[in-house]
Structure 1
Amino acid sequence: MRVAIATEGDFVAQHFGKCPGFTIVDIENGKITRKNFVENPSYKSHQPGAVPMFLKNQNVDYVIAGGMGPKAIMMFESFGIKVFVGVTGKIEEVIEAFIKGTLTTGESLCERGEHRCQH
């Protein structure tokens, strides 16, 4: 399986569409077989729909982010890609929790209170 994690520095980015890039991890039999960082193609000029299509073309099965707008979630779901939002923490710890099946998710950080993103 292939997992893309919205990444900012060593942490899960709060908004997947505006993050600098994605940590893409291949996991087989509970072990990491490959991990690399890819730049977000619309980091400097956020274009709705561009990132879901980019990650679909990367053959991603799962996307993990702190926050994501409802249109992007629907687009990923239409591609058969499962989305986990409300995730925070260091990338390495998130990968470990995902593999163990203990990843803590919640409401999209992109949709809360005064930090509501404009989608």
Structure 2
Amino acid sequence: MRIAVAKTGGVIAPHFGHSEGFDIFEVKENEILSTEFITSPEHRHGAMPLFLGEQNIHVLIAGGLGQNAVAKLSERGIEVISGISGHPTDAVRKYVEGSLSTTGVPCSGHDHNHDHHGGGGCGGHHGR
């Protein structure tokens, strides 16, 4: 299983679409076998879900993401766990143990608006 964690500044990115990249964890039989960092593709509408699908990702862990991104990831068979913060490895361990679940709601105002500094309804991460 391949798990991607949206990452910015060494921690889980507060917003999927603005992450610096992804820690990609290779997991087998509830054990982390390897981790690699992959830089995010250029930010453009729909690029990230396509990119993760091409990386054969099964699960995405992020702080927040828009409803459109959730739908596009789901179309590619990628399970989305949102509302998560902290260190990527800790989150993956919790997921593997079965103790990590979505705590956030999809962000609003992010699917087409690229001025994310004032509001946007992303779990309190923008403009608060």
- Normalising by the smaller structure, the TM-score range is 0.7 to 0.9
User: Which segments of 5 or more consecutive residues in structure 1 lack a partner in the other structure?
Assistant: none
Counterparts of 1:38 and 1:103 in 2: how far apart (Å)?
Answer: 23
- Offset from partner CA, 1:56-93 (integer Å, 9 cap, x none): 00000011100111111101111111111111111121
Counterparts of 1:115 and 1:74 in 2: how far apart (Å)?
Answer: 18
Counterparts of 1:79 and 1:104 in 2: how far apart (Å)?
Answer: 20
Q: Which runs of 4+ in 1 moved over 6 A?
A: none
Give the secondary structure class of the aligned counterpart of 1:107: coil
Counterparts of 2:77 and 2:68 in 1: how far apart (Å)?
Answer: 14
Partner of 2:35: 35
Matched AA of 1:84: I
Q: Does structure 2 conserve the Cα–Cα contact (< 8 Å) formed by 1:66 and 1:109?
A: no
Which structure has more relative contact order (CA 8 Å, sep 6+)? It is 1
Q: Does structure 1 conserve the Cα–Cα contact (< 8 Å) formed by 2:25 and 2:34?
A: yes
- Offset from partner CA, 1:28-77 (integer Å, 9 cap, x none): 011111110000012xxx21110100000000001110011111110111
Select 1:84's aligned residue among 81, 88, 98: 81
- Tell me how large the CA RMSD over aligned residues is: 1.9
Give the secondary structure class of the aligned counterpart of 1:26: strand
Where in structure 2 are the equivalents of 1:1-119 lying within 5 Å? 1-42=1-42, 46-108=43-105, 110-111=107-108, 114-116=119-121
State TM-score, norm by structure 1.
0.87
Counterparts of 2:64 and 2:86 in 1: how far apart (Å)?
Answer: 13
More helix per residue: 1
Deviation, 1:106, is 1.1
Matched AA of 2:4: A
Query: Matched residue pairs, number?
Result: 114
Deviation, 1:115, is 4.5
